[in-house]
Amino acid sequence: MSALPPLPFESPTTPDDLEVMREQLGRDMRGVVSIARRCGCGRPAVVRTAPRLEDGTPFPTSLYLTLPWLTLDISRIEATGTMADLTRRLETDDELAGGYRRAHERYLARREELGDAAEVRHVSAGGMPTRVKCLHALAGQALAEGEGINPVADEVLATIDGVLPELVCRCESVDATPDAASDATGEEA
């Protein structure tokens, strides 16, 4: 049905991944299908989720950023007004706008690989295709699909050290709980 190439970094979810995501998010991640991208240390960075949760709720954000240090960095960028600037550029930069629209279509096609949720069939994430409303959601797609798919997210991620092309681990820079640190980093010590 789909002509998309496979997600380049996708890997199966392990029980440890579910536990790490619980620590990353402070709650259970629902609708988990696979890990779409991992931090350099191996922890989940972007989780791929089903278009519909177990209880039937549509869940359009199917490439969901969970990595705390990167989430924090992106929140700092959002706080600077970058999203309004990028949205304005989409109105005048045809090349950027075209790439962003293709990223929107890619998002929908990728999600459809996992099934249909009619209520959100035309809804992607992050404000696509014409606005920039959530850099976390856009980054989730860019990290999962690799560079060259979402030009807006690629541009933002390029401003963060050690993210492109590889996701160099900075998990130790965020304050992990003692439990999380001993459970998740013991093998690296």
What is the DSSP annotation of 25-66?
Answer: HSSPPPSEEEEEEE-TTS-EEEEEE-SB-TTS-B----EEE-
Binder to Zn ion among 7, 39, 90, 120 (CB under 5 A)? Answer: 39
Judged by CB under 5 A, does residue 36 bind Zn ion?
no
Closest CA to 150 of 92, 86, 91, 88: 86
89 C-beta neighbours (distance < 10 Å), count: 15
Residues 61-100 interacting with Zn ion (rule: CB under 5 A): none
Site stretch for Zn ion (CB under 5 A), options 56-64, 83-91, 112-120, 166-174? 166-174
What residues have CB less than 8 Å from 41, skipping those under 6 apart? 169, 171, 185, 188
- Nearer to Zn ion by Cβ, of 20 and 117: the residue is 20
- Nearer to Zn ion by Cβ, of 40 and 148: the residue is 40
- Nearer to Zn ion by Cβ, of 39 and 125: the residue is 39
Task: Count residues binding Zn ion (CB under 5 A).
Answer: 5
Site stretch for Zn ion (CB under 5 A), options 39-47, 118-126, 152-160, 174-182? 39-47
Binder to Zn ion among 138, 142, 153, 169 (CB under 5 A)? Answer: 169
> Which residue matches tokens 């960075």?
45
Contact 125, 107 (CB under 8 A): yes
Residue 80, Cβ density class (10 Å: 0-12 exposed, 13-18 middle, ≥19 buried): exposed
Site stretch for Zn ion (CB under 5 A), options 32-40, 55-63, 73-81, 93-101? 32-40
- Nearer to Zn ion by Cβ, of 63 and 167: the residue is 167
How many angstroms separate the CA atoms of 52 and 39, rounded? 26
Shortest reach from residue 114's CB to Zn ion, in Å? 26
3-state secondary structure at position 174: coil
Binder to Zn ion among 36, 41, 65, 125 (CB under 5 A)? Answer: 41
Judged by CB under 5 A, does residue 137 bind Zn ion?
no
Q: Residue numbers of the site for Zn ion (CB under 5 A)?
A: 39, 41, 43, 169, 171
